[in-house]
Amino acid sequence: MKKCLITLLLMAATFTAMAAKPKIDIKHVEPLSWWVGMEMPLQLMINGEAIAECNVEVLPADSGVAVTAIHKAESPNYIFVDVAIAADAKAGDYTLRFTNGKTKRDYVYTIAERREGSRERASFTTADFVYLIMPDRFANGNPANDNTNDTAEKADRTKPWLRHGGDLEGMIAHLDYIADLGATAIWSTPLLLDNENGASYHGYSCSDYYLIDPRYGTNELFKEYVEECHKRGLKVIMDIVPNHSSTTHWWYDDQPFKDWTHQWDNYTQSNWTFSTNMDFNASKADLYQMESGWFDRSMADMNLDNPYLLRYFQQWAIWWVEYSNLDGFRVDTYPYNEKMPMSEWCKAVMAEYPNFNIVGEVWTSSIPQLAYWQGDNYNKDGFNSHLKSIMDFPLHDAIRAAMTESGNGGWGTGMTRVYDVVSHDFVYHDLSNMMIMAANHDTDRIGDVCEGDARKMKIVATLLCTMRGMPQMLYGDELMFRSTNRSMGHPTLRVDFPGGWEGDAVNLFDRSEHSGDQKEVFDHTHTLLNWRKTKEVIHNGKTLHFIDRDNTYAFFRYNDAEVVFVYINNSDQERTVPWSRYAEITEGLNLGRNVITGESVAMENLTVAPMTSLVVEFRR
């Protein structure tokens, strides 16, 4: 009896110990995998109930992969684990062993071999023409994923603010159209999970940084998309948002640290005044609200001053480059992040990929403020963003304003606006790393600005294809797309591409269905884009421009071998090209080739019709 009692007591103690040491819970391990030979040291963020009670080791031991430190967060449900990977470590699956007293759990973690030449990968440059896609509105290749059980918002194409069903399969199906147009790079708005209850189609409120939204496809399908782009000579630029995440993100209700996101007693929006970053007179309170205030109630503002979050975002960016073989990043709302951590973020990405390009959205009409954000710019405060490229919103504003002024011009109107912006090029550190555009997914359609005038649309295409910098065009601008209802703003300018959905009455992906003004604008754009591909003089040539106040604009792109002359007549009158006025560059340039028509052109006494452009190339 006594022996039996002792046995029962021992069993009870064992059961009590087992109850005190429950099965180890691992919900998330990020980054999802890593690679041998990376510049960035690996720090795993591990999430699971009471995971802070665990020790972690890597098996097999003596493999060249080892845990060097474990950092506890403020929440007991997170740990950050530093893992050293020796240069001679072998690629393969490793075991992360979690132990909690007598309980253990193994987790398989892959450390792969890098693809050959990964570090030296090329990126987008002035030789590229970037085509901007909003995936939900481009083409629906798989209607079966329009709605999924694990996402909140359901598709309804009748409502412009809801999802319409565009996806990765639709994008892949129409890559030939983009390549034929003459584009050489694609920037798509975010494809990561956005699980908001409404208006989630834009993707800028991320709910999982390591997951392609299932309504677009899968991580593997995204890799396939990148591969298919590369087969067609198209580079892939990923749109990323470190400034804010969705309040539906899995971490939101249990954040690793109190300062993981910016906290306020009451909801406080950003004041959107990023001039506070360089304004010697700005108050600290205004600067704090600018970078710490939220964009929207559903968009939690991330705090990159937290070193663990900064490392998380550095690794996240590098992971997507390495995993999917990306060619570049576009960073949303760049100046609203804390500027010093973002500088470190850029440095980390560029250290991993020295030839990589990152373009930041710095939405300002102020040329000095824009120049401040480009890496290596001379700034009085000594700040270096290490951001390679910036978006040229001053030029964007000038082109759009000029297209609304088709009269005979004057001081500060019409094409003088464009001349004035280009005259400030001395302010910028690196003109080759400026993205130029006349519209994007956040602005009024350029077709609306031009009021459906094909002549103006062709002038815009001419400017984008011949000016300095890296040009970007919003999907459908080559076909003069217009908003369905301008009073409704963003949802209605982000129109569906006709032919991208089964049953569409017109398929504009098929050139045989182009007609009228749409065909005229497309053909003009198509000719210029395909000509531009091989034009070193456009990619890297110098610019010489001439001032006129009759709503015309004349400029030359030139190098030692070639000269390209561009003449814009934005007025409502015929103009004679004043060729003798350009004598400082035109000596010996008498007979050229009209790039649009292919015809030979004699420049003396040449007239240009109202609201048209002329592009003529010469060999030296």
- Residues catalogued as catalytic: 332, 361
Four-residue CA torsion sign, 466, 135, 251, 324: negative
**SS3 of 359, please?**
strand
Strand duo 235-240 + 434-437: pairing: unpaired
Angle value at C-alpha 460, between 455 and 462, nearest 5 degrees: 95
Chain centroid to Cα 512, Å, comes to 32
N- to C-terminal Cα separation, the chain: 110
**SS3 of 572, please?**
coil
Strand partners, 69: 82
How is 508-539 classified by DSSP, letter by letter? TTSGGG--HHHHHHHHHHHHHHHHHTT-HHHH
Strand partners, 607: 576
Q: Where are the alpha helices (DSSP H) in 437-551?
A: 446-449, 454-466, 490-493, 516-532, 536-540
Q: Which two tokens stand for residue 203?
A: 């993707």
Residue 95 and residue 89: Cα distance in Å, rounded? 14
Q: Which two tokens stand for residue 267?
A: 């909801």
602: Cβ contacts below 8 Å, ≥ 6 apart = 590, 591
In one-letter notation, the amino acid at residue 382 is G
Contact 434, 422 (CB under 8 A): no
How is 573-587 classified by DSSP, letter by letter? S-EE--GGGGHHHHT
Contact 481, 506 (CB under 8 A): no
Closest to 35 in 3D by CA, of 94, 120, 114, 119: 114
Rounded to the nearest 10°, the torsion over CA 195, 197, 198, 204 is -30
